[in-house]
Amino acid sequence: MASGLEIVAVPAFADNYLWLVRDPDSDEVAVVDPGDATPVLAEASRRGWRIGQVWNTHWHLDHTGGNAEVIAATGASLSLPAAEADRIAARADVLLAEGDSVRLGAHVGEVWEVPGHTLGHLALVFHDDGVAFVGDTMFVMGCGRLFEGTPAQMHASLQRLATLPDATSVYCAHEYSLSNARFAAHIHSEDAAVADRLAAIEARRAAGKKTVPTSIALERATNPFLRVASSNEFAQLRMAKDRFS
């Protein structure tokens, strides 16, 4: 039986998480969304890991800006969204679309197209491992802004992610949890589960601890963007979040 994936958060910029992923059996290593090569290469070196693959979920520079440097330093291959290849500076080795897969040793991640934040945004879903790398589509108690996509697209993408098993660990790319939790508590002021999660997030952030990964079960229970019944309701909620401070 294959060992579980080893996943390490590499903080970058103000609030990004870049993810190093290792298969202990084969010693193969990938990095998800290396917006900044310096901390990724430093953490991999500290652990004695050699990065062999780069996986991008979408084209934004804070997710792709370190591609070229990581590849130059390691010889890693680059897999990225086919629909956004012309917006990513580094040349792709593999163009990914719905139904494709990425592999790390014996571990297989299914490619899901989850548009909304960008039009070609992907999620990488490792069903057997109970792990999903979702980029900027789903956050702890929140979701990404609609820079390119429509409310209908983002609503459908979130609802699709919500069909994953409760225990699925969700690796998103930003530490937005405190702001999202405060908004959720504002919207659902009488909801005990939301209030409890806000308190837990406040405690973790006060202690300097990260709040990611989350789980599908937690998001179903406390993420207001998974509770709306239609894309129109989603659009109103997203606009309210954009104005919230």
| Catalytic-labelled residue, pool 117, 121, 129, 155 | 117
| Catalytic-labelled residue, pool 107, 121, 155, 174 | 174
The answer to whether 134 touches 140, Cβ cutoff 8 Å, is: no
- Annotation says 196 is catalytic: no
| Catalytic-labelled residue, pool 23, 62, 121, 155 | 62
- Annotation says 86 is catalytic: no
- Annotation says 121 is catalytic: no
- Annotation says 127 is catalytic: no
| Catalytic-labelled residue, pool 33, 63, 121, 155 | 63
- Token pair 């207001």 is at which residue? 224
CA distance 79 to 135: 14
- Annotation says 186 is catalytic: no
- Annotation says 188 is catalytic: no
The answer to whether 78 touches 93, Cβ cutoff 8 Å, is: yes
- Annotation says 117 is catalytic: yes
- Token pair 């290396």 is at which residue? 34
| Catalytic-labelled residue, pool 23, 58, 121, 155 | 58
| Catalytic-labelled residue, pool 60, 107, 121, 155 | 60
| Catalytic-labelled residue, pool 107, 129, 136, 155 | 136
Catalytically active residues are: 58, 60, 62-63, 117, 136, 174
